[in-house]
Amino acid sequence: MKIIACGSVPTIIAPETYFTGRVLQTPIIDREAPARLRATLVSFEPGARTHWHTHPLGQTLYVTSGAGLAQTWGGPIQTIRAGDVVSFAPGEKHWHGAGSNTAMTHIAMQEALDSVHGEWLEAVTPEQYGG
């Protein structure tokens, strides 16, 4: 058994190369091969969001607080709220983040394929974000 004490893992400001707006990330678990799981607590300030991206083995989000938005390429923008679980299929191009006036926090979980957890793509434009 291994216990990681609360507050012992630093929270970072997410890089602008993958996110628009202020986003904080606190790692939960990042296992090395042969394990593949990565989980991160991600907190989005109002208006903040990921860029478009994909995951080779899919991604699951568990919304822990607030309300936000999620969209797959070509699909409608969906509202997500605390308690919701969102699953993206392997290779499904998508983004997720806070609403324009609400903060949102989720746990993002994905597995690596050949050490790759995801592929980051272009930013979500204000027009795409605004619907």
pLDDT tens digits, one per residue of 96-131: 999 999 999 999 999 999 889 999 999 999 999 985
59: which residues sit within 8 A by CB, 6+ positions away? 87, 88, 94, 108, 109, 110, 118
The answer on pLDDT for 2 being more than 60 is: yes
User: Are 108 and 97 within 8 A, CB to CB?
Assistant: no
Domains along the sequence of the chain with CATH: 12-129 (2.60.120.10)
> The whole model's pTM is what?
0.94
